[in-house]
């Protein structure tokens, strides 16, 4: 229940990616994990955990593929064996400390001991309220419990898959309705800032198919949207013309006297981050991370940068007091906590909300699918077992069991391996 110290220090160059494995046995020197995998796996006996550190975003994608390959090979050599592990999101210079939360088991990265900043496993920044997250693990920490989630000021809110919604207050549930919903709203009276994020859930299993950001802070509203049709961001300002966002470098997308939205450069086309700023403040109010796979669906994560803004937030992602949480552990998929979120459903059309007519037509076409079938009608025990094996291949067995169970659900109802890949990367 303490921090593991690796000594002597690992000597890697700045352009090297690497992984650290915690295993039951130690392999002979000179064995290759990829070339001598049969002998290697027999000697290590069991993998308890692994942490993978990429040197850039592209390397992270390669490491995820390598981890999937290792899991597949391990399962064929030793049926029933698993290879837990997490590929950390690239957050800049290599972190000096990586640790698991003492209660939730979430992974966090500390770039510089004693000063931070701190990032989550996805590489997104995390606001901390206590400096014990920055302690030097080489100085007397054996036996000291890992830091716990109470040290964090904010939780990330997530919409993933069918959709499964994880709220700021820790709630978790699966939405059972199609249509457009108010996902998140931020309203500040002075200076006047008004942001709204709408999501459209559509198709037979109601995956997220459209996302719309509307800024009504200025005299003329402005919007930006993305759909799973082409997975390309579009913006509309006072000219009322929609324009594609092609830049991969940091770019101010929407701007008003009291607010602005900025695209944070990313090497990957399917993952973008958008930061929302008030007036001339240096730090953003929130960072929205969006992953879109063309022809499939959209996953997203919203991170509030400071607790002081929480009281100005409403919508699905804020959560509801007393909302039930999904049980942890080996949960039957028929026990998922569900909701219809009628309070957040909006009856206006996509175009009336501020979206484009083209996106509205695309979403309407998806809405014409028949109502979703019950989980029990689509996923027999063997189908569930196959889906679980596929999700464990991508997610491993370490981390929130809720994400694993949600992945099983999504794969089983027709999301396929793509939904497992996207869940792992988000």
The more confident residue out of 317 and 156 is: 317
Q: Which of 83, 106, 99, 97 is nearest to 23 (CA)?
A: 83
Tokens in use for 284? Answer: 């953003």
Q: How confident is the model at residue 212 (pLDDT cuts 50, 70, 90)?
A: very high
**28 alpha carbon, distance to own chain's centre:** 37
Average pLDDT of every residue of the chain: 79
In this structure, are strands 179-188 and 193-202 parallel, antiparallel, or unpaired? antiparallel
Q: How confident is the model at residue 338 (pLDDT cuts 50, 70, 90)?
A: confident
The more confident residue out of 147 and 43 is: 43
In whole angstroms, what is the distance from residue 205 CA to residue 207 CA? 6
Over the stretch 278-299, which tens digit does the pLDDT of each residue have? 987 888 899 999 999 999 999 9
Query: Mean pLDDT across the stretch 290-315?
Result: 88
The more confident residue out of 383 and 397 is: 383
In whole angstroms, what is the distance from residue 395 CA to residue 389 CA? 10
Q: Is the pLDDT of residue 168 over 70?
A: yes
Query: Mean pLDDT across the stretch 43-53?
Result: 87
Over the stretch 153-165, which tens digit does the pLDDT of each residue have? 456 788 999 899 9
Burial 192-211 (b: 16+ CB within 10 A, else e): ebbbbbbbbbbbebbbbbbb
Looking at residue 397, its pLDDT comes to 56
Q: How confident is the model at residue 225 (pLDDT cuts 50, 70, 90)?
A: very high
Rounded to two decimals, what is the model's pTM?
0.73
Let me know the angle formed at the C-alpha of 373 by 371 and 377, rounded to the nearest 5 degrees: 165
Q: Is the pLDDT of residue 358 over 90?
A: yes
DSSP string, 233-256: -EEE-TT--EEE----S-EEEEEE
Let me know the angle formed at the C-alpha of 147 by 54 and 407, rounded to the nearest 5 degrees: 55
């Amino acid at each position: 229940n303490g921090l593991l110290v690796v000594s002597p220090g690992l000597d890697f160059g700045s352009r090297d990616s690497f992984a650290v494995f915690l295993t039951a046995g130690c392999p002979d020197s000179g064995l290759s994990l990829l070339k001598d995998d049969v002998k290697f796996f027999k000697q290590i006996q069991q993998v308890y955990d692994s942490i993978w550190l990429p040197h850039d975003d592209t390397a992270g994608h390669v490491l995820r593929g390598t981890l999937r390959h290792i899991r597949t090979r391990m399962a064929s050599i030793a049926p029933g064996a698993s290879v837990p592990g997490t590929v950390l999101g690239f957050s800049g210079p290599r972190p000096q400390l990586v640790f698991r939360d003492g209660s939730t088991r979430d992974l966090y990265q500390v770039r510089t001991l004693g000063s931070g900043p701190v990032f989550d496993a996805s590489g997104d920044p995390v606001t901390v309220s206590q400096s014990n997250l920055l302690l030097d693990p080489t100085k007397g920490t054996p036996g000291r419990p890992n830091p716990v989630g109470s040290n964090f000021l904010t939780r990330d809110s997530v919409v993933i898959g069918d959709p499964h919604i994880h709220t700021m207050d820790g709630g978790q549930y699966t939405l059972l309705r199609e249509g457009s919903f108010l996902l998140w709203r931020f309203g500040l009276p002075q200076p006047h800032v008004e942001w709204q994020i709408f999501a459209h859930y559509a198709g037979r299993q109601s995956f997220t198919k459209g996302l719309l950001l509307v800024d009504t802070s200025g005299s003329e509203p402005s919007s930006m949207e993305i759909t799973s049709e082409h997975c390309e961001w579009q913006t509309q300002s006072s000219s009322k013309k929609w324009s594609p966002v092609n830049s991969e470098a940091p770019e101010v997308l929407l701007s008003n006297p009291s607010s602005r939205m900025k695209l944070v450069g990313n090497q990957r086309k399917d993952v973008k981050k958008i930061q929302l700023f008030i007036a001339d403040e240096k730090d953003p109010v929130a960072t929205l991370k969006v992953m879109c796979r063309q022809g499939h669906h959209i996953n997203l994560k919203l991170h509030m940068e400071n607790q002081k803004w929480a009281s100005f937030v409403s919508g699905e992602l804020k959560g509801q007091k007393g909302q039930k949480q999904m049980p942890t552990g080996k949960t039957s998929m028929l026990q998922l906590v569900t909701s219809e979120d009628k309070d957040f459903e909006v009856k206006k059309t996509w175009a009336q909300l501020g979206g484009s007519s083209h996106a509205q037509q695309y979403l309407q076409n998806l809405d014409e699918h028949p109502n979703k079938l019950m989980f029990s009608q689509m996923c027999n025990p063997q189908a569930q077992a196959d889906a679980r094996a596929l999700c464990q291949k991508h997610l491993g067995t370490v981390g929130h069991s809720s994400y694993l169970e949600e992945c099983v659900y999504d794969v089983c109802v027709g999301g396929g391996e793509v939904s497992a890949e996207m869940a792992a990367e988000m």
